[in-house]
């Protein structure tokens, strides 16, 4: 039987290897995303027969299960259905990538899938974000050129231990200018600070942008398979071209050989963020589905 435990930061080294063979390009199935949002969504985990399971509580959805990492899908479905049946609780999976829907529906015929545009991840060609080549990226190139003309003294380098205090100070300034009264924004800032304070443990790819000797932006992410995932991206909005320069430099430094795509996550339904992410010309919007199962107890027994 599955035995779930609250997810803590100390679990990260133990769980990281389970992600190695994960074929999905959605951001939710990465170590960084899982641990950044573990508290606000009450993430719990279980390990059974070499497979990692997550139970997550989302607002409006209640308890849901991610698609497990490791093993085979039939065993996964049976174990989760059995877990729900024993507790007389409903069964729902989220997030389910589009390519996983056929197998899930085949196993659970009495299931329904819905998706929410606000949750779709933005996927880009890595080469597009590195240099903004072509007519469709003229706007981004103009912003980068404005940055370069404004700041002759600039640099970008991977985050080093000595940068951490200055990054905290930059984050203080950032929050004072763009503070939003939302739980997700506050949690995003809190977990960004946690990452900075536990930088070796998180083991993310971090880069910091300087202009005239001051930090004007930084980004944090990780690589899984052929995709670079950008989990955190903060820049001073008062710096002309700051965000565009940060996006370009981060891609140039970390989307190396074998990295074909960059996932910059969802827009949470924010109109300004949606407009910005669409302006970078995504090659795909990665759909995420919620799949609810009617009468899961009839699907399998004795798992």
Whether residue 299 has pLDDT greater than 80: no
Average pLDDT over residues 92-98: 96
Sorting pLDDT into bands at 50, 70 and 90, what band is 303?
A: very low
Q: Does the pLDDT at position 162 exceed 90? A: yes
| Beta carbons of 249 and 156 less than 8 angstroms apart | yes
Distance of CA 267 to the CA centre of its chain: 11
Higher pLDDT, 219 or 74: 219
Instruction: Report the pLDDT averaged over residues 231-239.
Output: 96
Q: What is the pLDDT of residues 183-209, one digit of tens each?
A: 999 999 999 999 999 999 999 999 999
In this model, does residue 274 exceed pLDDT 60? yes
């Amino acid at each position: 039987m599955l035995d779930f435990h609250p997810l803590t930061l100390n679990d990260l080294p133990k769980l990281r290897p389970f992600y190695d063979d994960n074929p999905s390009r959605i951001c939710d199935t990465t170590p960084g995303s899982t641990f950044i949002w573990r508290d606000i969504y009450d993430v719990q985990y279980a390990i059974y027969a070499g497979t990692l399971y997550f139970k997550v509580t989302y607002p409006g959805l209640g308890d849901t299960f991610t698609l497990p990492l490791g093993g085979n899908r039939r065993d996964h479905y049976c174990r989760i259905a059995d877990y729900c049946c024993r507790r007389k609780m409903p069964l729902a999976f989220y997030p389910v990538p589009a390519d996983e829907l056929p197998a899930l529906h085949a196993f659970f015929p009495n299931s329904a899938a819905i998706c929410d545009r606000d949750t779709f991840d933005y996927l880009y060609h890595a080469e597009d974000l590195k240099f903004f080549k072509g007519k469709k990226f003229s706007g981004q190139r103009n912003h980068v050129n404005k940055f370069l003309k404004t700041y002759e003294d600039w640099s970008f380098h991977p985050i080093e231990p000595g940068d951490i205090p200055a990054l905290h100070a930059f984050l203080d300034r950032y929050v004072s200018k763009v503070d939003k009264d939302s739980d997700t924004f506050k949690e995003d800032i809190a977990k960004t600070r946690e990452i900075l304070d536990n930088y070796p443990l998180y083991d993310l790819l971090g880069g910091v942008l300087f202009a005239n000797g001051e930090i004007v932006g930084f980004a944090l992410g990780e690589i899984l398979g052929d995709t670079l995932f950008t989990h955190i991206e903060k820049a001073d909005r008062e710096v002309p071209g700051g965000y565009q320069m940060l996006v370009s430099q981060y891609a140039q430094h970390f989307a190396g050989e074998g990295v074909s795509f960059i996932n910059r996550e969802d827009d949470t339904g924010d109109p300004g963020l949606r407009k910005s992410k669409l302006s970078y010309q995504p090659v795909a919007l990665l759909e995420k589905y919620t799949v609810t199962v009617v009468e899961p107890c009839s699907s399998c027994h004795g798992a």
